[in-house]
Structure 1
């Protein structure tokens, strides 16, 4: 039977198409692409449900006269810039829910083996060398280095109804719709939770250190697994882990905030897992931030308590009197920067990583936001100017571009460089050239930029017209020439912004 169906874009443009009811949804979608002059998009029925391209129009219960929508979602790019590791590839979710990858091939930059499975993707998460995509139907597709979570074949049947995925250095943990958890990847990094599987029910949040996971259950208790030296064993504090509302992680330890505002820590004693010296001070804690080996807690009265490795921010005694009315803390790999209510900034930790801001202290007024990479900080002031400090080679010295850093809207960072978007859509970069600090080769293309995503050593900018511009470490995602044709925007991209 021949069906007559109306297909429209969000912009209002529509077309009437004829198709046999035994034809596939995919073939109808291709017809719509041609008729509407777009490159990609996915078909939704009148209820807003995504139609499976592999099914027939009859099985999709379509009848003549039905009105369908060809949805062209805004391009999303995913990377991983965690100071602790970061990856060397990018993954882009295109307007039709498919995925394009580039960068280090065995680190997730090559997804060709799972290309046909990467449809209707809604979210992507990454370890150091692998990606995991959650599809609209709640299933999961993985790729990249098998030892880092790129191979989920052993748990594939369990990966249904997934609502969230968390990643350690080399493993993934997925929370299912029923609150159960499924893990895969390197066992040493938390990829094997089989011993604790009976306990992992009604999980509401999972946090990760480098090689371990910690899950908060609905009743406020906690289950941990992975490398014991990195927080995978919480047995010594298990009785204290009750009514937990949030968990923060350093490289090798965890800190849990309880409902009464107290804190429980475990993991490497010298890297934040032992807070016994400050236990009496840890009351009415509102939030916790972490460097690689230390923690900083903001209390209800705006004061700060720190512990962990002294050289990595665990000792704030030199600035303790200044740490009052703190509203936010940012961390580089080895130092902290606190923004006070009056817009001033207090720093401590490794001086070479931004723990010493004395050279720019007079400029740090009316700060509204701070961004950090591994060894440096960049602060955006209320007037849109920028102040930087820390390791000069990592972006702590921005003198060469200082005159350009005006009307800055936001800043992104790789491990060793910064990229600022100005209010006119242009971009200014500085820091290590091989980490994206030098955008000279693509500078003319960096106009009308809306968003920037970063990987370990490269940036990817999405322009207002939908084009993607990349730079930085070529084999780490800075060179997207192999996929650039596929990344080109569709004709109706303006309707998505």
Structure 2
């Protein structure tokens, strides 16, 4: 006798399928994935156990009428400093949580947040790109209005000054490829390489002065107050508050063959094709690299704290500049900065992963610059993420180590015993979010809980 088994996703989408008792779990799962139009996942029973794909359905103890969950491996989390999060589930549905006034409640937009491809955030609002290239924005305050398009595909609301309302550019927001955000404004790259901006004028919400240059845009980077766009010919266009990195006129002649741009809160650093670096913005916040310019050769990657930069060179060494108290001075650990593969940053400290999986830290001690309490366990580190004042490292066995300010997630507390089989970590200003192997999401920092 055939079995009828339901398979449900985290979003609630469900399908019921007929199956023969001797059908393999793997075959049944493939049919469920096809019916739900999602990628690969794992079938989980009502007790939370993962079904053995090599087994047959009958031997797995399944009966007609049972419901299984399809746990997706892809859970992408985006957080922002206001303390709210948005998670893209494996089937493209988006869930939000955190402070409602900062976008933690999708509100009227929630019904539209399907087939989400990318989500970005300003300080108090979110913007999501849907599969058809349309954009949904939400967040900021409840005193704003909602605008629904005639086809019902897009709704926007939130405080204009924070980017939560894109109504005045909504007809332009089609086939969006990428979104970036300053503190209170968004910039979207369309498929034709043009750019649409909205939000606070002071923070880059108006690109009118450079709109004629914004053609064939390849990438956009944002500081707190300004945007910088890499154009197809390798040149750069900037806009936003002029004295806080929005004006690159002093170095414009050097900005050729730009490959990558990174930003502190008030300065930009561009890596050129030959490995040199060009900087602009507030000098003390990373905009002036003259003291280390002769060392900035063969640069492969740059990371930024709030007011300092750290560059990884082709030989695995590191060069730092900017505000010393924010990690701009790495002299105390310079001899350890060898074979560096990746760097992450809090507000005022850096953490570097070396080729052997060990970690070197520097900068503000209480914001993660001192990892001595966990140093002997920082081995086989795969990934590091940071809040304002703490770091979290995923080890090779899927466990997590934290250090830095306990108030900002430096102490995982009650969450520590649950941090196993961790696949990814994301963060907001004061909270970490870990995606576990089964697709559930665990948060800690101001508080801890399992979200989904």
**TM-score range, shorter-chain basis?**
0.7 to 0.9
CA displacement, residues 190-224 of structure 1 (integer Å, 9 cap, x when unaligned): 44555556666665444332233334455544444
**1:217-256 mapped onto 2 (5 Å cutoff):** 217-256=190-229
Structure 1 Cα separation of the partners of residues 383 and 174 of structure 2: 39
Which of 295, 308, 314 is the matching residue for 1:335?
A: 308
CA displacement, residues 426-479 of structure 1 (integer Å, 9 cap, x when unaligned): 2110011011001243333323323223222122333335554432112xxxx3
Structure 1 residues 456 and 152: alpha-carbon distance in aligned structure 2, compared to 1, 3 A threshold: farther
Residue 421 of structure 1 deviates from its aligned partner by: 1.0
Segment drifting more, 442-451 vs 199-208: 199-208
Structure 1 Cα separation of the partners of residues 167 and 237 of structure 2: 25
Q: Is the 8 A contact 1:29 1:42 kept in 2?
A: no
Root-mean-square deviation (CA, aligned residues, Å) is 4.1
> What's 2:46 paired with?
none
Q: Is the 8 A contact 2:133 2:177 kept in 1?
A: no
Q: Is the 8 A contact 1:121 1:135 kept in 2?
A: yes
Structure 2 residue 83 is matched with structure 1 residue 88: yes
> What's 1:362 paired with?
335
Structure 1 residues 294 and 140: alpha-carbon distance in aligned structure 2, compared to 1, 3 A threshold: closer
Residue 97 of structure 1 deviates from its aligned partner by: 6.8
Residue 328 of structure 1 deviates from its aligned partner by: 0.6
**1:70-89 mapped onto 2 (5 Å cutoff):** 71-74=70-73, 76=75, 78-81=77-80, 86-89=81-84
Structure 2 residue 408 is matched with structure 1 residue 415: no
Structure 2 Cα separation of the partners of residues 220 and 389 of structure 1: 39
TM-score of the aligned structures, taking structure 2 as reference length: 0.77
Structure 1 residues 407 and 227: alpha-carbon distance in aligned structure 2, compared to 1, 3 A threshold: same
Q: Is the 8 A contact 1:73 1:96 kept in 2?
A: yes
CA displacement, residues 83-132 of structure 1 (integer Å, 9 cap, x when unaligned): xxx23134455677766655435445556988887777776554444556
Structure 1 residues 128 and 158: alpha-carbon distance in aligned structure 2, compared to 1, 3 A threshold: farther
Structure 2 residue 230 is matched with structure 1 residue 271: no
CA displacement, residues 317-372 of structure 1 (integer Å, 9 cap, x when unaligned): 00000000001111111111100000000011111111111111111000000011
Which of 362, 382, 386 is the matching residue for 1:389?
A: 362
Which of 423, 437, 440 is the matching residue for 1:464?
A: 437
Question: 3-state SS of the aligned residue for 1:230?
Answer: coil
**1:208-223 mapped onto 2 (5 Å cutoff):** 208-223=181-196
Question: 3-state SS of the aligned residue for 1:415?
Answer: coil
Which of 294, 299, 310 is the matching residue for 1:321?
A: 294
Segment drifting more, 218-227 vs 197-206: 197-206
Structure 1 Cα separation of the partners of residues 109 and 234 of structure 2: 45
Question: 3-state SS of the aligned residue for 1:403?
Answer: helix
Structure 2 Cα separation of the partners of residues 236 and 254 of structure 1: 13
Q: Is the 8 A contact 1:7 1:70 kept in 2?
A: no
Segment drifting more, 191-200 vs 372-381: 191-200
Which of 268, 287, 290 is the matching residue for 1:295?
A: 268
Unaligned runs of 5+ residues in structure 1 are 11-24, 51-68, 163-181, 488-497
Structure 1 Cα separation of the partners of residues 167 and 98 of structure 2: 33
> What's 2:281 paired with?
308
Structure 2 Cα separation of the partners of residues 197 and 116 of structure 1: 18
Unaligned runs of 5+ residues in structure 2 are 39-67
CA displacement, residues 384-420 of structure 1 (integer Å, 9 cap, x when unaligned): 1100111111101111211111111111111211001
Which of 385, 401, 425 is the matching residue for 1:428?
A: 401
CA displacement, residues 17-43 of structure 1 (integer Å, 9 cap, x when unaligned): xxxxxxxx98865999xxx99xxx999
**1:52-63 mapped onto 2 (5 Å cutoff):** none
Q: Is the 8 A contact 2:178 2:189 kept in 1?
A: yes
Structure 1 residues 154 and 5: alpha-carbon distance in aligned structure 2, compared to 1, 3 A threshold: farther
Structure 2 Cα separation of the partners of residues 356 and 447 of structure 1: 35
Question: 3-state SS of the aligned residue for 1:406?
Answer: coil
Structure 2 Cα separation of the partners of residues 283 and 96 of structure 1: 41
Segment drifting more, 292-301 vs 270-279: 270-279
Larger RCO of the pair (alpha carbons < 8 Å, separation 6+)? 1
Q: Is the 8 A contact 2:135 2:173 kept in 1?
A: no
